[in-house]
Amino acid sequence: MNPFENAQVQLKKAADLMKLDKNIYEILKQPQRILEVNIPVKMDDGTIKVFKGFRSQHNNSRGPTKGGIRFHPDVSKEEVMALSMWMTWKCAAVNIPYGGGKGGVIVNSHELSEKELEKLSRNYIEAIKPIIGPSKDIPAPDVYTNPKIMAWMMDEFSRLEGFHNPAVITGKPIEVGGSQGRGFSTAQGGVYTLNEAMKKLGIEKKDTTVAIQGYGNAGYFAAKILYEQGYKIVAVSDSKGGIYSEMGLDPEKVFSHKKKTGSVKNFQDTKNITNEDILELKTAVLVPAALENQITKENASKIQAKIILELANGPTTPEADEMLFKDKVLVIPDILANAGGVVVSYFEWVQNLMNYYWTEEEVLGKLKKIMADSFNQIYKIQQKYKIDMRTATYISAVSRVASAMKHRGHT
């Protein structure tokens, strides 16, 4: 199944359970708009290369659409459509006034020079400019995009508009309107939900074992924050493979090793393992923080963790979800677990619109309240209906979107 079919299956499951109005379901199962663009870039050698890009806007009933832009060779229209739908539910799950959007460009950005990367970033924004803006659709960083790229994109939009317009993009550097805490907010938000789950299951944080698949921004910061809180990180991995140590790992030292060597593999006093192995380790907590479709019907029965914290988007397939629920594994789903990024993006947008900026302490205080309240409200739905956490999160999110659609006369 492609990611978009997965997203539709998840929506259908919740829609059936909550007896969602059929007209609303028909609207929600497709994006409102998907823009496909061809982006010519003059390369350093003087040749023109044309890159294909997308921007999907799933639903704007609760506010402007919001979602990241990824630069990756495997970007597809279906993936971007799925991610935009998940963003609608993610924003509604934590009750912030956005709909879901997502963008992507089919490119291996590692093969581009900095000058080529800047041209691609600016040309992509020029191509999608008619459909984005602070009150229309607000992009942000995603896979292989970062604050520097967001600054170029914001600058290009502002140049085309003719005035400084920082609220068009979030995830920017602090110096050009970024928010304190944004760099690690996805991981921090996930940790807040994990801590609530630990309380519900009566598990102490100290020496609770954790395995993390993916050691990019979300995976590294999750490891760092959990380690500082007393959790025991026993395994981490990146795209080249992983490492395991029963004694535990120091995330900072592993990160330094990765920066030097290009991978976490071969870190001192650890055993090299595969990305498949890391999912099946006997740990209390498993954190998939890589790409989609990592936990499937083939390996779900081998998962030994008590809690899965999904920091990646779409790491678990619908068939695997049902198997994990039967095995009493508590899955904190992506649309809740990794919503910290979009919550602090929302804070950044609000600060840009006000031209008034908060301290890191203020940002994290607001984030903690939103994430903890959202987890506890969704956990109540899960307990009431005896369903998995993903379906409970969908019921909460889809209800909010459906209510907004009815009030606005969109059905």
Neighbours of 280 (CB within 10 A): 18
Sign of CA dihedral 155, 160, 162, 165: negative
| CB proximity list for 130: less than 8 A, separation 6 or greater | none
Report whether 41 contacts 68 (CB < 8 A): no
Helix (H, G, I), strand (E, B) or coil at 146: coil
**Sign, CA torsion 377/380/384/385:** positive
What is the C-alpha separation between 118 and 138, in angstroms, rounded?
A: 19
Helices (H), 249-317: 251-261, 275-279
d(CA 122, CA 39): 10
| Contact predicate 22/327, CB 8 Å | no
Q: Comparing C-alpha atoms, which of 99, 80, 79, 104 is closest to residue 88? A: 99
**Among 102, 172, 258, 306, which one carries the catalytic annotation?**
102
C-beta separation of 286 from 307 below 8 A: yes
102 is catalytic: yes
Alpha helices, DSSP H only, in 331-359?
Answer: 334-337, 340-354
Nearest to 80 by CA among 27, 129, 139: 139
Q: Are 371 and 94 within 8 A, CB to CB?
A: yes
Cβ neighbours of 25 (radius 10 Å): 16
Over the range 158-190, which residues count as b (16 or more CB within 10 Å of their CB) and which as e? beeeeeebbbbbbbbeeebbbbbbbbbbbbbbb
Q: Which residues are catalytic?
A: 102
